[in-house]
Amino acid sequence: MNRLSPDEENAQNVVSGTAMPHLRYRISFGKDGPLRYCSHLDLMRVWERVLRRAGIPLVYSQGFNPRPKIQIAAGLPLGYISTCEILDIWMENDPLEPGSMLSALRLAAPQGLTINTIHLVALSEPALQSLTASACYQVTAKNSAIEPGMLEKRVRELLSQEHVWRERRGKRYDLRSLIRQVEIMPGTPLMLQMTLELSPQRGTGRPDEVLDALEIDALSAVVTRTTITFEASPDS
């Protein structure tokens, strides 16, 4: 087979629609309102449609069933609110300035999807999911009858243990090793702030598991993810 010159190869790629990705953007967004009840998998589909409405041409995978190339840093459980989710998208070319992309995305977003920022990142950067280290959550326990003093005691007890063994989906794990910090915030209704591991190596802590360990009804609590921290944040 004859080898093609880079120019010819490029031209062929363009014709056959298999051009290499040119640009990778990182979008920070919030999820609230009706989207609070949308699962992680459904959210990916919501994003694909937002991007299509905004006229942003995504790179697609090859093969029998091509998928658009988008990555979300960390799946947010259904029912949680977030102000700080992170999405990477790969674009075929550059038809829009980040500023106009931002306004196009805002126009195309459904109720509950807030676009915070968008910026270019290096194509060579590792996958988003491999970059995260921890996340902060704010919890409002609306119907909790628990006394603040009692809660303080339970938090102290939880944090003083070396291991807190629990079972989730038939798997035994140590919840304590996934908790970095739990704090009670002043005021009513009852508010907690917690920092949990969000790491491909060390594991992911779930706020509902912490609430359960503290004997707070997780289903009537409102949980908001407020920060995702990267292991060695290359952008900040």
Partner 1 sequence: MHTPEQIERALEQVLLRVERPGRYVGGEFNAVSKPWNSIQVRVALIFPDIYEIGMPNLGLAIFYDLLNRQPGILAERVYLPWVDMEAMLKRDGIPLFSLETKHPVSDFDVLAISIPYEQLYTNVLQVFDLSGLPLRSIERDETMPIVIAGGHACYNPEPLADFIDLFVIGEGEEAIIEIAQVVGEMKAANLSRNEQLARLAQLAGVYVPRFYEVDYQEDGVVAAIKPIREDVPFPVLKRVVPILPAPPTRFVVPNIDTVHNRAPIEIMRGCTRGCRFCHAGFVARPVRERSIDEIVMAVEDAVAQTGFEEIALLSLSSSDYTDVLNLVRTLGERFAGQRLSINLPSLRLETTSVELMESLRNNKRGGFTFAPEAATERMRNIINKSMPDRQVLEVARAVYSKGWRTIKLYFMIGHPSEKLEDVKAIADLSLAILAEGRNLHGRKATVNVSVSTFIPKPHTPFQWVPMDAIEQITAKQSLLKRELCGKGLRVSWNDPDETLLEALLSRGDRRLGSVIRRAWELGSRFDAWNEWRKHDAWVQALSEAGLDFHHYTHRTRPVDEVFPWDHIDIAVKKSFLAQDYLMSRRGETRVDCREKCFACGILPKLAIMRSKIPADAWKCPPVAPKIEPDEVSAI
Contact set with partner 1 (CB under 8 A):
17, 33-39, 41-42, 45-46, 48-53, 58, 60, 64-66, 68, 78-79, 108-112, 219-220
Comparing CB distances to partner 1, the nearer of 1 and 41 is 41
Evaluate the omega torsion of the peptide bond into residue 200 and state whether it is cis, within 30 degrees of 0. Answer: no
Q: What separation, in Å, do the N-terminal and C-terminal C-alpha atoms of the chain show?
A: 47
Distance, CA of 59 to CA of 124 (rounded, Å):
16
Q: What's the closest the beta carbon of residue 103 comes to partner 1, in angstroms?
A: 16
**Are β-strands 221-230 and 81-91 bridged in parallel, bridged antiparallel, or unpaired?**
parallel
CB of 39 to partner 1, least distance (A): 7
> Of 142 and 153, which has the nearer Cβ to partner 1?
142
Nearest to 127 by CA among 171, 153, 88: 88
CA distances to 46, 61, 87, 119, 135 from 198, rounded to whole Å, are 24, 27, 16, 23, 6
Closer to partner 1 by Cβ: residue 68 or 200: 68
Q: Considering beta carbons, is residue 45 or 202 the nearer one to partner 1? A: 45
Question: Which residue pairs, CB below 8 angstroms and at least 24 apart, start in 43-48?
Answer: 43/72, 43/76, 44/70, 44/72, 46/110, 46/113, 47/72, 47/87
Nearest distance from C-beta of residue 101 to partner 1, angstroms? 15
Residue with Cβ nearer partner 1 (5 or 62) = 62
Cβ proximity to partner 1: between 121 and 222 the closer is 222
- Compute the least distance from the CB of residue 119 to partner 1, in Å: 23
Amino acid at 200: P
Q: Work out how close the CB of 78 gets to partner 1 at its nearest, in angstroms, rounded to a whole number.
A: 7
Q: Is residue 158 a contact partner of residue 205, using CB atoms and an 8 Å limit?
A: no
Least distance in Å: CB of 169 to partner 1? 17
Would you tell me how many other CB atoms lie within 10 Å of the CB of residue 70? 17
